[in-house]
Structure 1
Amino acid sequence: MKGKGIITGLIPLIILIGVLGFVLKNGAGVEKDPVAPIEVLNIERIKVTNTGFELSVSNTGPTPLTISQVMVNDSVWNYSVSPQAKLERFEEGKVNIAYPWVEGDPHTIKLITENGIITEGALAATTLTPETNRSNFLNYGLIGFYVGIVPITLGLLWYPFMKRFSRKWINSILALTVGLLLFLFVGTLADGFEIGAEAPSVFQGNMIVIIGASLTFLFLIGFDQYQQRKQEKKGYSPFGMALLMATGIGLHNFGEGLAIGSSFSLGEAALGTFLIIGFTLHNITEGIGIAAPLLKTTPRLKDFLLLGGIAGAPAILGTWVGAFIFSPIWGALFLGIGAGAILQVIYVITKMLIDDHRTHREPSVSWLNLSGFTIGLLIMYFTAFFVKF
């Protein structure tokens, strides 16, 4: 009976493979030549060197393609392709163009395949791409330190002041934290979709964000329930909740580092400086949110240092990645994971608030909690003015 069951399960699969093989070999049965070739050449990164441009490209179309011509600012220009001009599907290559570029000027580069398909890349304000050396590594790391660790640590310093509050006021601050996190969740998803749109369409960047967020949320929920059953606990400890929050915010701050690093690498120094100031002001509120769950306990100094590092250090890593090795696919994935982690923290804090108010026979959505939640949203909304453009 078991063998028959396996055979009945394999029969549809074998037929499906046969049909697909027939279509691939003989076509769909309609005798008609394609109107135009399907070629998709992606320019993933433009590196500006002292001698010209170096383009990282990939073939994400269904068939091989050959790069046959290059134009810079509407002029045909000499070039070389490594490893070769013909790229198989999903093969990557580098196009080197010796060009006397002008600092600060816009430049447009067009790659033309042998079938006449044009792929265009542009530099709004051309400047030398930062080299991966010790000096630049330290400088970009320092930017991430300003944006991530410093403001979050300043936010954590509000802990002694907030510690004086009563239980109802502490719950209001937790509701404020939910408002902060909800704004961050939506913002992280939006940033992920924006970066995902820059990836080759075949990789479906937006779906990478959704998959990363969904699986991260469900994994953390499942792991939480497993730990509670194993340890017979009813919920997170205050420090455990703060640790979860710091992790989610840290992944969000990785995205902020990406934005800053890529801005400087593309020569948009004014935008990069603007983002540094904006994110620094914006992230102080994140430190307040991380401190909120700790109000029901007495943490140690090293706990604050650990939380500040987990939440802030990813901004340093993001700045390095954005400046030197940025990839839209990996950026979209990390931001999707960050959104899922933030959503799980929202779920945990909301559930804790509801349980606490139910224990004391109080309405979960009190005026105090609603006010805290609203203030959290408004704080993030108005401080976001410093980072939107």
Structure 2
Amino acid sequence: MMNDIIAYLESIDPILAALYATLFTWGVTALGASLVFFFKKMNRALFDGMLGFTGGVMVAASFWSLLAPGIEMSPGEGFIKVMPAAIGFFLGALFIFGLDKILPHLHVNFKMDEKEGIKTPWHKSVLLTLAITLHNIPEGLAIGVLFGGVAAGFDGATIGGAVALAIGIGLQNFPEGFAVAMPLRGQGLSRWKSFNYGQLSAAVEPIAAVLGAWAVMTFQPILPYALAFAAGAMIFVVVEEVIPESQRDKFTDISTMGFIGGFILMMTLDVALG
């Protein structure tokens, strides 16, 4: 089954392949958000564990799927070889840092007076959705960049690796959809509205993926920078948002073990399929 999927994605346009992969990750987000139809409230221990899992997947993907291939395909030796990754990583973190300061959003588990970005009268539902959307921009970009790299024929970029990344990001999108929908349900929104806000947070992934694949195919020398850019953006999100969100209650050990589990799973997927 997996071999058939990889073979099919190899046979089609890479931009279309990136789109299909991120439609899958969007669908898994919607699946996580759909839990709002079956549960009235959120189990905090489970929730923190899933947040930790999300962080583990993102950190492992940043290294195994993005940084390591980016360094491998860079020309030169020593400091020269690692410079594209270092520059791209910094620019990716700086990009999300800028969005974090401008885009109004509210992290899960945070109170309204802790919202970030420019001041706005927007409702909590919108702010929570935008916070998770911020997570999903680098995730979609990473998938698109990898598919574009495969089309450009770069060593270290494989369809198997791109599929592994899409699967890993899809799995960690499940708790992200849940993370938006359930708190909104707790705030009094209907199940349908809570679900719609939850799944909407991943709508940006296909857009980012298509742009990433197109950019790499059009400007091939940027691939090592682009891979590291996505990695830097993801690591910024993990350190600035995901980990603090998962450590605000008494279930810190559960969230930490969730992180370890997510890291192991993503590492295994990348090595096995990539």
TM bucket (normalised to shorter chain) is 0.5 to 0.7
Query: Among the aligned pairs, what percent are the same residue?
Result: 17
Offset, 1:274: 4.3
Residue deviations 1:270-295, cap 9 Å, x none? x9664565455344224325425314
Aligned equivalent of 2:52: 175
Partner SS state of residue 158, structure 1: helix
Report the 3-state secondary structure (helix = DSSP H, G, I; strand = E; otherwise coil) of the residue aligned with 2:152. Answer: helix
Aligned to 2:241: 348
Distance apart, 1:374 and its partner CA: 2.0
1:247 CA displacement: 0.7
CA shift for structure 1 position 326 = 4.9
C-alpha contact (below 8 Å) 2:15/2:147 kept by paired residues: no
- How many residues were matched structurally? 234
**Cα gap change, 1:272 to 1:343, in 2 (>3 Å):** closer
CA distance in 2, matches of 1:353, 1:280: 23
Match of 2:187 in 1: none
**Conserved in 1, the CA contact under 8 Å of 2:165 and 2:266?**
no
Distance 1:341 1:304 in 2: 21
What whole-Å deviation, never above 9, does each CA across 1:61-101 have from its counterpart, x for those lacking one? xxxxxxxxxxxxxxxxxxxxxxxxxxxxxxxxxxxxxxxxx
Q: Residues 162-216 of structure 1: CA distance to partner in whole angstroms, max 9, x if unpaired?
A: 7734122211111111111111222322232223x13x78x94632322232244
Report the secondary structure of 2:13's partner residue.
helix
Q: Is residue 53–residue 260 contact of structure 2 (8 Å, CA) maintained in 1?
A: yes
User: Offset of 1:154 from its aligned partner?
Assistant: 3.0
The structure that has the greater radius of gyration is 1
Higher strand content, 1 or 2: 1
Structure 2 equivalent of residue 150 of structure 1: 24
Instruction: Give 1:161's aligned residue.
Output: 35
Structure having greater relative contact order (Cα 8 Å, sep ≥ 6): 2
In the TM superposition, 1:133-282 aligns within 5 A as 139-161=13-35, 164=39, 165-187=42-64, 188-195=66-73, 197-198=74-75, 204=80, 206-218=82-94, 220-221=96-97, 224-225=100-101, 228=116, 230-231=118-119, 237-263=127-153, 274-275=160-161, 278-282=164-168
**Structure 1 residues 217 and 315 mapped into 2: Cα distance closer, same or farther (>3 Å)?**
closer
Per residue, is there more helix in 1 or in 2?
2
Which amino acid in structure 2 is aligned with residue 231 of structure 1?
K
Partners of 1:248 and 1:277 in 2: CA distance: 16
Alignment of 1:291-330 (within 5 A): 291-294=177-180, 295-297=182-184, 299=194, 301=196, 304-305=199-200, 307-308=202-203, 310-320=204-214, 324-328=217-221, 330=222
Q: Displacement, 1:246?
A: 0.4
Query: Is the contact between residue 210 and residue 336 of structure 1 (CA under 8 Å) also seen in structure 2?
Result: yes
CA contact (8 A) 1:147 1:279 kept: no
In the superposition, relative to structure 1, how do residues 272 and 384 fare at CA in structure 2: closer, same or farther (>3 Å)? closer
- How many angstroms apart in 1 are the aligned matches of 2:164 and 2:272? 4
Cα shift at 1:242: 0.7
Classify 1:159/1:378 alpha carbon distance in 2 versus 1 (closer, same or farther; 3 Å).
Answer: farther
- What is the Cα-based RMSD across aligned positions, in Å? 3.8
In structure 2, C-alpha distance between the alignment counterparts of 1:205 and 1:224, rounded to whole Å = 30
8 Å contact from structure 1 (residues 184, 252) kept in 2: no
Which letter does structure 2 place at the counterpart of 1:241?
A
**1:338 corresponds to which residue?**
230
CA contact (8 A) 1:246 1:290 kept: no
CA displacement at 1:376 relative to structure 2: 1.2
**Using the alignment, how far apart are the partners of 1:333 and 1:213 within structure 2?**
8
Deviation at 1:255, TM superposition (A): 2.5
Separation (CA, whole Å) in 2 of partners of 1:339 and 1:139: 24
2:270 aligned partner: 384
Q: Is the 8 A contact 1:217 1:343 kept in 2?
A: yes
Aligned AA (1:191)? P
Q: CA deviation at 1:313?
A: 3.7
- The TM-score with structure 2 as length reference comes to 0.68
What SS does structure 2 have at the residue aligned with 1:231?
coil
C-alpha separation in 2, matches of 1:224 and 1:155: 22
Asked if 2 retains the 8 angstrom alpha-carbon contact of 1:172 and 1:369, the reply is: yes
> 2:18 is aligned with what amino acid?
G
Whichever residue aligns with residue 140 of structure 2, its letter is G
**Contact persistence 1:179–1:375 (CA under 8 A):** yes
